[in-house]
Structure 1
Amino acid sequence: MKTRRTLVAAFSVTLAATLLGACGSGDAQETVGAKNKKGGQLNIGPDQHRVRGKKVASIAAKVPAAIRERGSLRIGGSADAAAPLGFYATDDKTRIGSEIDLATLVADTLGLKVDFQAVSWENLFVGLDSSKFDAVFSNVTVTEERKEKYDFATYRLDDLAFEAKKGTDWRVKGPKDVAGKTIAVSSGTNQEKILIDWSKKNEKAGRKPVDIKYFQKDTDYYLALQSGRIDAYLGPHPTSAYHVASAGQTQIIGTFSGGGDAVQGKIAATTKKGSGLVDAYAAAIDHVIDDGSYAKVLKRWGLSSEAVKKSEINPRGLPRP
């Protein structure tokens, strides 16, 4: 999202190289990755052995006839997304990640093949407007402004995370916990706005403001964290959780809604308003939640804490700027 982008694709390449160096020898097609905290492997090879679903006729019937006849679901994803959401496998051409896995489960349930297309963030919405895409699965947050043009079926919570050096006993539960701390954040994001608001609250309460730092490259945040130049990095929870599991040098010390105090942010399958598809997406998501395949996908990518109990159609979104 323009207001809350994940780490850029360049970081995915760097991280993949780091993981390859960490895992040593092995079958790159199946077990490439780094040891997670439970001793398992984070698979970043092209052979994903995805969790798959089966067609449910009653749900598939909700799909408009023209798409059923076509037999495929054209799904857009951001080429700028990063691990574990959407990134390139070790062959540098296969797109993998949690968003791809969840979109595949939905398509399976609807009895449709998947036609994935990775484009720039802005072109995701151009693709929806022009009906090039039937859906976008790409960490899109529901907002009140977007609801004017698009329909949403939620499938994950939109959370942010404070990531600190491993072993720290510092925890973040609210503004006072970051008073006087040096924290890095990406410019122009929801998390930056939240951090600035918290800093102002601290000053108003007579506490020290937050010393906010910005870096040119996303990987520089982690170098600064390890060197002690910053106390924490505030970013999207999915990428922080992936980094914690893969690198093993940091820990999450606090999580918060991407909507701040105003509303719990929610990530959703996005479709053009009035396309007739949102009911089918919601029903398919509810089905994979009920049959347990949804939980397996989230667990696989370290995102279990962002699970939803059911899909909501066009819920309350982040307020207008």
Structure 2
Amino acid sequence: MITRRITLAGTAILFLGLLTACGTSDAANDQVKPAGGTGDAINLGPNQNRIHAKKADAIAAKLPEAVRKRGSLTLGVSTGSAPPLNFYATDDKTLIGVELDIATLVADTLGLKPDFQAVSWENLFVGLDSGKFDGVFSNVTVTEERKEKYDFATYRLDELAFEAKKGGDWRVKGPGDVAGKTIAVGSGTNQEEILVDWSMENEKAGRKPVDIKYFQNTTDYYLALQSGRIDAYLGPNPTAAYHVASAGQTEIIGHFSGGGATIQGKIAATTKRGSGLVEAYAAAIDHIVKDGSYAKVLKRWGLSSEAVPKAEINPPGLPKPKN
């Protein structure tokens, strides 16, 4: 995942500067309207008017007593630079995005106040290990390796997307389609592992390997794509879909499960293994799915296609690395 906070100037480049003649911005109202004039305007302001859920006493009772008495959940989110997952509003200090909206609904259902702590990707897990965080809502994929240390309650499908300049006829359906191409990917992510595996597969088949590039934040990827320094960017589908809709200069040329060809990847609320929190999180997610607030949040951010019908506790995850 991305690990550096972008500045307000970076946010402006991503959401306003890249919208030339495509999407339109209304700075006074902190909104960006999707390219083509379809869909609801995207609220980038600090006043999010978040969707809320009502407390469910029976579900709140599943929490450990110490957490109930404290009255709050300390939740880790990765440093905000990956819209629409989590990113900074136009005031450059208020975190917004779909991950925070879903976490807020879960906290509401449990009758607790969410206390969001923004840290770098690797420090999400440090915070869980140390007991600093009650949970993490930050596009974390369930993996077999992570299940050794953490418990998971799923709330979204994990989908990846290749994003390229608009108007070409190149499409990605498998490893051979990226042979010899220059592809950017986030370091330390599941999508990096998939791309590295594909590159090795290409070499074994006598094809050219993938020229893999790494950048520090989202704006760097898109500037490199716009200038032609890379052919495509492989990242989370939500980020790609959001950028395509708002900027109108790129397109999705391939969709894949975050688990690759073997398993459907799933995004989950993550907590320290044995903390006693995962059952409450799963029940809260089931509750917001049933009351409709979950669907409203996904629609708000254009992610209805990633909805799950119910939470799963510690389902089969991405397999452990082969080496």
Fold-level match, TM-score > 0.5? yes
CA contact under 8 A between 2:184 and 2:215: conserved in structure 1?
A: no
Residue aligned with 1:73, SS: strand
> Which of 6, 12, 18 matches 1:10?
6
Instruction: Give the corresponding residue for 1:314.
Output: 314
The C-alpha deviation readout for 1:45-67, integer Å capped at 9, x for no partner, is 00101111111122112112222
Instruction: Give the corresponding residue for 2:32.
Output: 33
> Which of 7, 15, 19 matches 1:19?
15
Counterpart residue identity of residue 273, structure 2: K
2:282 matched to 1:282? yes
Where does the alignment leave 5 or more consecutive residues of structure 2 unmatched?
Answer: none
Task: From the superposition, tell whether residues 184 and 272 of structure 1 become closer, same or farther in structure 2 (CA, over 3 Å).
Answer: closer
CA distance in 1 between counterparts of 2:13 and 2:320 reads 39
How many pairs does the alignment contain? 314
CA distance in 1 between counterparts of 2:39 and 2:7 reads 24
Instruction: Give the corresponding residue for 1:212.
Output: 211
Instruction: Give the corresponding residue for 1:65.
Output: 65
CA distance in 2 between counterparts of 1:233 and 1:209 reads 18
CA distance in 1 between counterparts of 2:35 and 2:51 reads 19
CA contact under 8 A between 2:182 and 2:230: conserved in structure 1?
A: yes
CA contact under 8 A between 1:7 and 1:82: conserved in structure 2?
A: no
Residue aligned with 1:161, SS: strand
Aligned residues: percent identity?
A: 70
Normalization by structure 1: what TM-score?
Answer: 0.88
CA distance in 2 between counterparts of 1:182 and 1:122 reads 26
Instruction: Give the corresponding residue for 2:151.
Output: 151
Counterpart residue identity of residue 267, structure 2: I
Instruction: Give the corresponding residue for 2:226.
Output: 226
How do residues 257-268 of structure 1 correspond to structure 2 at under 5 angstroms?
Answer: 257-268=257-268
CA distance in 2 between counterparts of 1:164 and 1:264 reads 23
Normalization by structure 2: what TM-score?
Answer: 0.88
Residue aligned with 2:43, SS: coil
CA contact under 8 A between 1:7 and 1:239: conserved in structure 2?
A: no
CA contact under 8 A between 1:182 and 1:210: conserved in structure 2?
A: no
Task: From the superposition, tell whether residues 188 and 94 of structure 1 become closer, same or farther in structure 2 (CA, over 3 Å).
Answer: closer
CA contact under 8 A between 2:184 and 2:212: conserved in structure 1?
A: yes
The C-alpha deviation readout for 1:136-174, integer Å capped at 9, x for no partner, is 111112122221221110111222111011122332222
Residue aligned with 2:200, SS: helix
Shift of 1:318: 1.8
CA contact under 8 A between 1:160 and 1:191: conserved in structure 2?
A: yes
Instruction: Give the corresponding residue for 2:94.
Output: 94
The C-alpha deviation readout for 1:83-124, integer Å capped at 9, x for no partner, is 111111111111111110000000111111111111232332
Residue aligned with 2:191, SS: helix
The C-alpha deviation readout for 1:246-285, integer Å capped at 9, x for no partner, is 2111111111122222322211111122221111100111
Where does the alignment leave 5 or more consecutive residues of structure 1 unmatched?
Answer: none
CA contact under 8 A between 1:6 and 1:236: conserved in structure 2?
A: no
CA distance in 2 between counterparts of 1:42 and 1:36 reads 11
Residue aligned with 2:32, SS: coil
Residue aligned with 1:235, SS: strand
Counterpart residue identity of residue 32, structure 2: G
Residue aligned with 1:154, SS: strand
CA contact under 8 A between 2:182 and 2:213: conserved in structure 1?
A: no
